[in-house]
Amino acid sequence: MQLRLRHIARNVFSNWFVTAANMAVGFFLAPFIVHRLGNAAYGVWVLAVSSVNYLSLLDLGMRSSVLRFISKGHAVGDHELASESLSAALWVRLQVSGVVMLFSLGLAAAFPHIFKVPAELGHEAQFAVIIIGASLMVYMSLGTFGGVISGLNRYDLQGVVTLVQLAIRVIGVVLVLRSGRGIVAIALCEFAAALVGNVLLAWLALRIYPQLRLRIAKPKSDILRDMWVYSFYAFVTTIAVQLVYQTDNLVVGTFISATAVTFYSIGNSLCRYTDQFASALAQTFVPAASSYEAAGETEGLRRLYYAGSFGTMALAFPVLITLLTRGHTFIGLWMGREYAQVAGNILMILVVPLLFAYANRITPSIAFGMGKHKKVAIWSIIEGVANLTLSITLVHWFGIYGVALGTLIPSLFVQLIIWPPFINELCGIKLSDVFLRVWAPMFLGAVPFALASYELDKYFPPRNILMFMVQTFAILPIFLSIIALIYRKSFGVYILPHIKNFMVVKPRAT
């Protein structure tokens, strides 16, 4: 059955609501954690989380494969295929979760020797790594059911689970830090949130798809083969994502210090918060692209690209431009003046490639939905390796800023040279249309807003966060009105037909 407008709207807005909640919590909680722990302990915490997150690569792309096969099986009524796919993934991930715990123990033993951790924090860091590894083990096993909920396009239910986890995490962290405890206590809060959330995911998945039948036994070889063919490139893409987004903190912690990680992570975290909003929109387009591809509706894929690109850029650009023009001011008000200069410079370097990354954000989602994500994986891993290599090289020349430059350079190359032609291969959209109908209007329309933001910060510097927010929202209509004016024709030609297409009632597949 084709996706309907109400499904798209429900998923997008539920994802945005959850993302907004995550951002709000991160915004208000980050200064509290940094000042309670101190720069060194907070840097150690970031290093512990970043290093353990590398073990999530052992997922081998299975969650993406579950999403794909559950969506396909449910759409055509092949519940046996869906059940066998879920059972196979669960069988693999149960074994992987044990490996994760073993690696976590080894990482904990080596942690103080790999990174420049203050001696007094060494043992605490080791215990934190073990507990974070246990949280990942829970995700690896029970988290398989999250692919079922995503495959059924029920991101609203996934959002409820995320909010429950968020509440547990926030309440726990605030209580333990107010009582004077450290990173081990924070890690225990993360474990509790992971356990409750993933148990809830499993229960919901079996409740909304009662036809699923689990078999915890070695799966058929053909099922494993089919899943691995799809998941392999998702796995490679995950490696690339880890290299791009997690490696920087590790490079800083290895070659500079744990304290420097705090300054780097502050600038980097603002980019990641922005990324959550765009990702919340982009991930809902994967099932839609699968649906169009299965029906052979190339025109639907084109409209999906135009609508998705417009949505992600219109959503992200005001935030990115504000960070680019007023990032130093914001960090000074948010975290404290002592962080403004260094973290602000890191932020400015990392924001630049994001402007182009959001212009291309929908393309990988369409590729994954169509099952044509091989090139996505290859290009992503090349970017990740280049990122790591340049960061390690440039950190010796430019210090902490060299790590950020190591991220900027390969990202710009991929976003400007690789991605734009790829959408033509997927949907038949000309390169000239990508630049003239998608990129140029949004970038040109953002210029007046950027100038207004810069002048506002120069002549009317805010005294607190509230004034900063008021000023930003006061000039936001400049961006919205110009974009509405520029896109008035494109909206009717490319975006509105895509929305109307979802409103057409089509027969349910049997």
Confidence of residue 403 (pLDDT cuts 50, 70, 90): very high
Confidence of residue 505 (pLDDT cuts 50, 70, 90): very low
Confidence of residue 500 (pLDDT cuts 50, 70, 90): very low
For 62, half-sphere exposure in the C-beta direction (CA atoms, 13 angstrom radius) is 28
Distance separating alpha carbons of residues 198 and 185, to the nearest angstrom: 20
The predicted pLDDT at position 422 comes to 81
Report which of 54, 144, 41 is spatially closest to residue 106, judged by C-alpha positions.
54
Domain ranges of the chain: 1-229, 246-500
pLDDT tens string 38-93: 889 999 999 998 888 878 777 666 666 676 667 666 666 777 777 777 777 778 88
Report which of 160, 162, 144 is spatially closest to residue 205, judged by C-alpha positions.
144
Higher pLDDT, 174 or 291: 174
Name residue, tokens 């998705």. 308
The predicted pLDDT at position 338 comes to 92
Report which of 41, 58, 131 is spatially closest to residue 93, judged by C-alpha positions.
58
Query: Is pLDDT of 504 > 60?
Result: no
Q: Could you give the 3-state DSSP secondary structure of residue 503?
A: helix
Highest mean pLDDT among 113-127, 357-371, 399-413, 417-431: 399-413
The predicted pLDDT at position 238 comes to 67
Q: How far is CA 446 from the centre of its chain?
A: 24
pLDDT tens string 85-140: 777 777 888 888 888 899 999 999 999 888 888 888 889 999 999 999 999 999 88
* Contacts made by residues 415-422, CB under 8 angstroms, sequence distance 24+: 415/353, 415/356, 415/357, 415/359, 415/360, 416/356, 418/379, 419/360, 419/363, 419/379, 420/360, 422/363, 422/367, 422/375
Distance separating alpha carbons of residues 62 and 144, to the nearest angstrom: 8
